[in-house]
Structures are given as structure tokens and as C-alpha cells.
């Protein structure tokens, strides 16, 4: 995901300080990895350098001086272009779980035990997400974000079940190679 585009999107609502952008990011994208303050400020500096944002002033508001940023016309055009761009399906699927199963076979480990432990971890995360999305105070963004994650975890679980059922064949193929 593009941090620069997410920050441009948050700036579309109006000028903001880096601190506010980080807070709004973490609120709007609750299941995403939280942004580090350093990442926010570095990205803002790059947006300014590239002409996509500009400094709109500073204020102290009784505390340390804070810089206010706003999107430029070029930033608005870039955001519109990016938002309309179709995200291509990944041409290569990198699956850490599959890699660990194969490495476990190569190293004489226990791929079935690994898959069982991984399934348990997925199930625990699915319970957490279900509780999050069904909480009384959950907003729609939280529900949709949790649904997205749940669907991906469910796909992983189905893949793990299929792989567990085929471990004997997979082990023979890996050992033969």
C-alpha cells in the first residue's frame, strides 16, 4: 500500500499536521500496520519535494511548533489518478506458509505439526477479528477491514487443509527433487 497516496487522501479533507495525519490513518485503517511518526514526516517531506503537498504554515498552539501541510493541485491530480488505477492481481504469489512447509520437509522437520500450529494461530486471529467487528461500538470501516482480513485468513485455512491432505505427495516430490 502506498503511504504517500494514503497521506494525500487524508490531506484531501484539508490541511493537517503530521501528528493528525498519523492518528487519522490509524483510525481510518484500523487493521493496517500503524504508521510510525518518522514515516509520516519523511513521506510528507517527499510529497513537498515532489510538489504534491506544500507547507501551509506553522503553529505552536501552546506546545512545540507544528507544521501544517496541504495538498497541491498536482497532489490532488496524483491522488485521483492513483485511486482510479486498477490494482493488478499479483503475478507471483509469495506465501511464507508454503515456503515453511517445504523447508520443513527439506530439513526433516514436521510439516504437519507446523501446519496445525499455523492453523491454530489463524483461528485465534479470526476470533479476535470477529470480536472486533461484532463489538457494539464498531464502525463500518472497522467491520469492512476485519471482513477483508477474515476472508484472507479463511483462504489461508482452506489452503492449509488442502496442503495437509497432500503432505505425503508433497514430501515425496520435494525429496525426489
Q: Is the pTM of this model over 0.75?
A: no
3-state secondary structure (DSSP) of residue 63: coil
Strand partners, 16: 69
Report which DSSP code applies to 70. E
pLDDT digits (tens, 9 = 90+) for 119-168: 999 999 999 999 999 999 999 988 998 999 999 999 999 999 999 999 99
Q: What values do phi and psi take at 102, rounded to 5?
A: -65, -45
Q: Where are the alpha helices (DSSP H) in the chain?
A: 3-11, 18-28, 37-49, 73-84, 96-106, 111-134, 140-165, 167-176
How does pLDDT run across 44-81, given as a tens digit for each residue? 999 999 999 999 888 877 777 889 999 999 999 999 99
For 105, the grid coordinates are 520437509
Amino acid at each position: 500500500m502506498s503511504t504517500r497516496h494514503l497521506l494525500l487522501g487524508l490531506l484531501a479533507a484539508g490541511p493537517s499536521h503530521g501528528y493528525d495525519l498519523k492518528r487519522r490513518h490509524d483510525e481510518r485503517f484500523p487493521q493496517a500496520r500503524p504508521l510510525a511518526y518518522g514515516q509520516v514526516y519523511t513521506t510528507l517531506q517527499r510529497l513537498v519535494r515532489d510538489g504534491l503537498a506544500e507547507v501551509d504554515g506553522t503553529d505552536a498552539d501552546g506546545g512545540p511548533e507544528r507544521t501544517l501541510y496541504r495538498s497541491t493541485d498536482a497532489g490532488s491530480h496524483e491522488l485521483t489518478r492513483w485511486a482510479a488505477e486498477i490494482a493488478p492481481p499479483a503475478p507471483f504469489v509469495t506465501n511464507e506458509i508454503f515456503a515453511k512447509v517445504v523447508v520443513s520437509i527439506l530439513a526433516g522437520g514436521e510439516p504437519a505439526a507446523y501446519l496445525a500450529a499455523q492453523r491454530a494461530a489463524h483461528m485465534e486471529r479470526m476470533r479476535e477479528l470477529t470480536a472486533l467487528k461484532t463489538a457494539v461500538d464498531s464502525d463500518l470501516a472497522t467491520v469492512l477491514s476485519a471482513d477483508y482480513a477474515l476472508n484472507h485468513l479463511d483462504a489461508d485455512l482452506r489452503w492449509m487443509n488442502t496442503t495437509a491432505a497432500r503432505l505425503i505427495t508433497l514430501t515425496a516430490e520435494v525429496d525426489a527433487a
